[in-house]
Amino acid sequence: MGAGDAAVAHARVRAHGPLRLPAGAPAPEGMARLTFPDSTGLALGVWPDGATPALLEEHQVPPVPVERAGETRRVLAACLKCCWTDLSADPWPGSPAPLERVLGTYRALIGRTDDLMRNWAIGALRRLHDSAWIVLSDGLVRLGPRCALWPVSAHAQLKELVRRLPEPAGDDLTVVADSDLVETAPDPAGGRVEGGESAGLEDLLEGYDERHRAELVAAFMAVEHAAEPVPEARFAALRDPALRRALAQMLARRGRVLIQHRERWISGYDDGVAARLDGPLSESERAVLTLVLVHSVAIPRAEGVLPEDTWLSPHPTPVEELRRHTQVPIGELEAALRSLRHAGLLTQVKAGEEAGGYVPGPQFHRLTPAARRRLQEELILAAGPQTPLAAAVRARRAAG
């Protein structure tokens, strides 16, 4: 696999989640291979020098927010308690656990048994499943592939957490036979982590002393995982042109580029790499996102209340507006909104005493100039397909 293919693979993992590997196929450079007994596997990118996104806290950079973060963390802790049954082994892959056992552990943890608690827990389980922290299948919960990337240095702290968590009451748990656990598991039982010692960036970092290397890694993690563009004044690798070139090379290995917002920086997909990715959004998700962009961006921009150079907006699109202007069924609409929120493409906001609605999310900071132009054209075609401007867009595309 060449450098360009590896960059596309890293971008695909970021867009779609862990990369499935056929039996015996190696992981791309800079990735760990999670191998199952049948020799198939999953590939996940690893971070340079063992860093994790927790590094953002040291630099006071807010990460991308997690919906109901408290419940999500507690539910993940309950999953770890139920699935990591052998503390002498690594957490992943762990053992499958009945869903009701996880919910019972969560109930014991927070001391509540009402229906609202259960709804919160189910929502958190969905978020964790969508982001590959856990796997839900046939009433069972397993630790997801992202748990395999917990650094060994964190295992002692995780073990102490598991020991301190309460046991579920156990009187209303769903009991599943051991044979059923294996048969209904979404992946072959067991597994091992191979490789992952190198992030595939060593040749770019080895020429720097310890201080400059740490500065490059910190800036890399910041621009990749921050919710907003980060100020260059806070990171030497963003201020110094030579270090910034090295940072851009590191990002290129991941199919990413640096994007400047005045004196702030963030990363986004390289345009050439993005062209090789399959769109991760379903038809209903694209329809809902388009409606929000029309009502929250295009219309306010046409009215002169929103600058032309921004895709973020303080003008929420009410849910009722979405229901009136789409033929997507209500259940499918709600599922699309949930997926778009989890992906950072939409943000739910309140508007005083009103119900509020949805605005474009933080991922719109990560658009390259070319991506901004393409999105602008797509919005013109969606909002006014019969206008002269739309005709000009179609003509230019036909000629190019």
pLDDT in tens, 296-346: 998 888 888 888 778 888 899 998 888 888 888 888 999 899 889 988 999
More confident of the two residues 202 and 184: 202
Average pLDDT, integer, range 241-267: 96
Nearest to 50 by CA among 149, 158, 177, 159: 149
Q: Residue 249 domain-assigned?
A: no
Distance CA 264, CA 231 (A): 4
Q: In what order do the strands lie in the sheet with 31-35?
A: 19-21, 41-45, 31-35, 192-195
Q: Residue 336 domain-assigned?
A: yes
Q: Residue 159 domain-assigned?
A: yes
Quick one: what percent of the chain has pLDDT higher than 90?
56
Residue 348 is part of a domain; what is its CATH number?
1.10.10
Distance CA 15, CA 13 (A): 5
- Give residue 114's region: left, alpha or beta (phi > 0; psi -120 to 50): beta
| Residues 191 and 288 reside in one and the same domain | no
| Residues 77 and 190 reside in one and the same domain | yes
Q: Residue 131 domain-assigned?
A: yes
Domain count, the chain: 2
Distance CA 396, CA 377 (A): 11
The length of the chain, given as a count of residues: 400
| Residues 306 and 189 reside in one and the same domain | no
What are 116-132's pLDDT values in tens digits? 788 889 989 999 998 99
Q: Residue 37 domain-assigned?
A: no
The bridge status of strand 256-261 relative to strand 134-137 is unpaired
Q: Residue 294 domain-assigned?
A: yes
What are 27-60's pLDDT values in tens digits? 999 999 999 988 999 999 999 998 988 899 999 9
pLDDT band (50, 70, 90) for residue 183: very low
**C-alpha torsion angle, residues 348, 350, 355, 358 (rounded to 10):** -30
| Residues 77 and 187 reside in one and the same domain | yes
Distance CA 349, CA 356 (A): 6
* HSE-CB of 281 using CA atoms within 13 angstroms: 19
Residue at which a domain ends, from 195, 215, 239: 195
| Residues 189 and 73 reside in one and the same domain | yes
Residue at which a domain ends, from 176, 195, 214: 195
Q: Residue 184 domain-assigned?
A: yes
Distance CA 268, CA 285 (A): 21
pTM: 0.87
Q: Residue 277 domain-assigned?
A: no
DSSP labels for 66-132? -TTHHHHHHHHHHHHHHH---TTS-SSS---EEHHHHHHHHHHHHT--SHHHHHHHHHHHHHHHHTT
Residue 111's pLDDT is 86
Residue at which a domain ends, from 169, 195, 221: 195
For tokens 């919160």, what's the residue? 120
Distance CA 236, CA 205 (A): 15
Per the structure, the complete domain to which residue 317 belongs is given by 284-366
